[in-house]
Structure 1
Amino acid sequence: MPPHPNSHRLRTGRYSEPGRAYLVTAVVHGRRPLFSDWILGRLLVAEMKRTHELGLVTSLAWVIMPDHFHWLFQLHHTPLAQVVGCVKSCSTLAINRATEKHGRFWQSGYHDRAIRDGEDLRGAARYIIANPLRAGLVERVGDYPLWDAAWL
């Protein structure tokens, strides 16, 4: 039996709506804490920023945890799966090049949640950037180097 027998169901019923805000989470293969190396985390950040600069999304908030990321963004006209796939594949190439490794970096799939109209985006952003506090990685959000929010 595969290690995550229902992971294929993450894609069932997924829908992309231009203009909608999404909260996306993706996990490093094997939940290895590779982003404890902040240099590797910055390579992922560069790919997320690139999607913003290319006009694929408007990035609202993100945090890179040691073994996963949370990213809140407003989707433009590129399908959600294509945006996330691009970030995951481009960051894999950059990170594998930097570490002189090959092969899989991310677990297959990702989790996404569409933010409903009228839902508090700032509240979602606060929840995202407080992850390092809840995980006990730092005592103050400002002490953690791998996060950002549009409202700062």
Structure 2
Amino acid sequence: MEPLPQRRSIRYNGYDYSMAGCYALTICARDKAHLFGTLPPNAPLVPSLLGQAVLAELTALPTHYPTVRLDTWMVMPNHLHLILVLTRNQVVAVSQIVGSFKSRSYRRWRQGELAAGQVAPPSCWQRNYHERIIRDAAELDAHRRYIHANPGRW
């Protein structure tokens, strides 16, 4: 059997993603399917059961990681945007936070699906995530505005 080819990293080469700072993240649903809920015009997201699990685990991140703070976030029908703040150097990496968040939210939702006699797919998340290292206050403000305006562009 031939080994799988190495995947090209989309991370900034040489950067330590466990360094304190602000990170803008976008995490997508598998196949960009509308799994997290519906977004009526001029109204907030009406979360699905999976969307409720995603919101619960998202807001619980600072409990799981005391050196992490959520600045701004928005759950959309097929993705979520958030600004994650690491408050101390080299305690936890962004990839660890995202990986455990994806696992916990999927597991929470899957347990409910199985308890209700439903079959849950093997995953609800697209592989990987997009991140941007926020470098200054102007960039932070621009990301906040983008996240808050996202439902209006939907």
Inter-partner Cα distance in structure 1 for 2:107 and 2:126: 15
Corresponding residue pairs, total? 131
Unmatched runs of 5 consecutive residues or more in structure 1: 1-5, 136-152
1:40-65: CA deviations, max 9, x gaps? 22211111122112314110010111
Residue 118 of structure 1 aligns to which amino acid in structure 2? A
Instruction: Please say if residues 10 and 109 of structure 1, whose CA atoms lie closer than 8 Å, have aligned partners that are also in contact.
Output: no
Residue 104 of structure 1 aligns to which amino acid in structure 2? S
What is the TM-score of this pair, normalised by structure 1? 0.75
**Post-superposition shift, 1:106?**
0.5
Unmatched runs of 5 consecutive residues or more in structure 2: 1-5, 39-46, 115-119
After superposition, residues 38-117 of structure 1 pair within 5 angstroms as 38=47, 39-54=49-64, 55-76=66-87, 77-100=91-114, 101-117=120-136
Percent of residue pairs bearing the same amino acid type: 29
Choose between structure 1 and 2: higher helix proportion. Answer: 1
Q: Which stretch of structure 1 is more off in the superposition, 83-92 or 33-42?
A: 33-42
Residue 87 of structure 1 aligns to which amino acid in structure 2? F
Query: 1:143 matched to which residue of 2?
Result: none
Q: RMSD in angstroms over aligned alpha carbons?
A: 2.3
Distance 1:105 1:33, change over 3 A: same
Which is greater in Rg?
2
Instruction: Please say if residues 7 and 108 of structure 1, whose CA atoms lie closer than 8 Å, have aligned partners that are also in contact.
Output: no
What is the TM-score of this pair, normalised by structure 2? 0.74
